[in-house]
Structure formats: C-alpha cells, structure tokens
Amino acid sequence: MRAVVLHRPLQPLALEDVPVPVASGGQSLIRVSACGVCRTDLHILDGELTRPKVPLIPGHQIVGETEDGRRVGVPWLGWTCGECRYCTSGRENLCDRARFTGYDIDGGYAEWCVADDRYCFAVPDGFDDLAAAPLLCAGLIGYRSLRLAGDAERLGLYGFGAAAHIIAQVARWEGRRVFAVTREDDAEAQAFARELGAEWAGADAPKP
C-alpha cells in the first residue's frame, strides 16, 4: 500500500510503498477514506514530542471502513491497559501505559491501518468523510469539556482553535450563550467566533 512515512523528526515525510498491516486479536483492518492533519502531527514532525516510534505513519483523525463493512473513526488514544486505576475508573485517557495513534501506533496517512476495536467509533451516515475526520480529535476534546461544563447557560471559550470552533456551534445549537477569549491581536479568530454565533469575542473578559 502507499503510505506517508516519518523516518526521523525534522526530516521531510516520504511517500513509500509498505506492506498492508495485519490485524491481530481485538483489532480491525481499516481502509482509510480520510485522515485529518492535527497540530499534534506537526509537533511530532518538528521533534517537539520526542519519542515517536520510527519509522512512523502519522495521522490520528482517521475515517474509514472495516473489512466487515463498518464505517468507523479512529482517534489519538489508540490503546490502554484496561487495568490501572485510571482505566478502571473511566479515565482511560490518563493511562500511564497508553499508546497513541500516529505516535506509538502507525496512523492514517496510508491506504490501510489497523486499530483497537475498543477505540473505533461508529461514524453516522450524516457526516461525509472530510467533515467527520476533525471530530475524532478536536471534536472529542471539545465535547469532553462541554460535558464537564454541565448545563451552564453561558460558556467561556479560551482560545478559538479547532476544538473551540466545533463546540461553539454545538453550544449555540443547544441555545447557550458563547463568549470567546483570544489573543489580543487575533482579529481573525475573533471574527470567526462571532460568525459562528459568539455573543462576544476579544482579548479581555467582558464586563458583567
């Protein structure tokens, strides 16, 4: 299959022919339809995340189809031990032995990938592949924060990047009031926040 491979941080990615991966127990082989580019991928390429397996196929916002016809999404969290205090209390993302897609495990910049079935999400038909891919990272991050906020009427979003712009739309759909705090000189992000329904956007918190 064709894949984009990182052989060493700070070096260009290489388009190569590599063997199709083989799924083992508890995994699925997935034909990749789309894979988003995340800031974390760039941190890996730039050497700012210092222990990637190499050679590595990056990419962790994967949408594809399993051999048995299921449409699935594959996120950053790719494997956990299932035994530690975090895993047994529903906080798998904090597992000390966690492995991550596109970092410890080959990811989606390829025609095929394998993924742990526990961390494959069903993707509804209402989303096309390109629209669904960012939900596997920014969408998950934003939704987790929104859920922790409870049913608050007003939400303050600090920074207006990928996660915030997705969750702002969800919050407005739910009828909440959204306030976006950005860097002082980031007029583009402030305008984008207002375009998506933010009641206020700026660098200093609004007066009550």
What's the one-letter identity of residue 168? Answer: A
Residue with tokens 């580019």: 37
In a domain, 121, yes or no: yes
> What CATH number should be reported for the domain holding residue 37?
3.90.180.10
pLDDT at 204 over 90: no
pLDDT at 208 over 60: no
What DSSP state is assigned to residue 21? Answer: P
- Same domain? 60 vs 155: no
Cβ-count burial 182-194 (b if 16+ within 10 Å, e if not): beeebeebbebbe
- Same domain? 65 vs 159: no
Q: Report the C-alpha gap between 106 and 36 in whole angstroms.
A: 14
CB atoms within 10 A of CB 23: 17
* Cα–Cα nearest to 109, from 12, 23, 24, 33: 33
Structure confidence at residue 11 as a pLDDT band (50, 70, 90)? very high
Lowest mean pLDDT among 42-46, 182-186, 203-207: 203-207
Mean of per-residue pLDDT scores for the chain: 94
In a domain, 31, yes or no: yes
CB atoms within 10 A of CB 93: 14
- Same domain? 44 vs 65: yes
- Same domain? 79 vs 172: no
- Same domain? 16 vs 118: yes
In a domain, 53, yes or no: yes
Tokens encoding 7:
């052989």
- Same domain? 99 vs 180: no
Domain span holding position 155: 139-202
pLDDT digits (tens, 9 = 90+) for 111-145: 999 999 999 999 998 889 999 999 999 999 899 88
In a domain, 134, yes or no: no
In a domain, 187, yes or no: yes
- Same domain? 58 vs 146: no
Helical axes 138-148 vs 162-173, angle rounded to 10° = 50
- Same domain? 7 vs 68: yes
pTM more than 0.85: yes
> What CATH number should be reported for the domain holding residue 156?
3.40.50.720
